[in-house]
Structure 1
Amino acid sequence: MAITDRSGLPVAVWVASASPHEVTLVDETLDACLTLELPERLIGDKGFDSDALDEQLA
């Protein structure tokens, strides 16, 4: 999983096996952030549409 800035430059990268659902990798990916500050907002596809994830990130 990768998080990029608006220019497409990587901000965080996390590699895992193909079996876990992407939504479960968000914490590890944010922990691997390459910048001092976390992103202000995250935009994901429908696979990230989860009330549990929304609460976790709030």
Structure 2
Amino acid sequence: MTKKKSKRGRPRNDDRQTLNGVLYVLKTGCAWEDLPPEYGSDTTCWRRLKEWSQDGTWERIWRTLLSQLDAQGKLEWEQAFLDGSFVPAKKGAMA
């Protein structure tokens, strides 16, 4: 007779709920600690965003969304940025 492996620890939070929590923080700009409880743990959302960024999941989500929006004609590519990093120049810095 074989024994079933028992799962230990807390069950994994739903990916959809966690994704919605991440999107809430990114859209509103609120602190992770201010994430409403319906999205689950703020720590889980932050940790999952970090994991998804490192393993390429976040980029796949982003590319899928862009493809869907493009297919629906909802993107204006002439107004899009691939990577928008804006850093103010320090006083006296050369232009």
Q: Which has the larger radius of gyration?
A: 2
Higher strand share: 1
Q: What TM-score comes out, normalization by structure 1 length?
A: 0.29
Q: What TM-score comes out, normalization by structure 2 length?
A: 0.22
> Relative contact order: is structure 1 or structure 2 higher (C-alpha 8 Å, sep ≥ 6)?
1
Higher helix share: 2
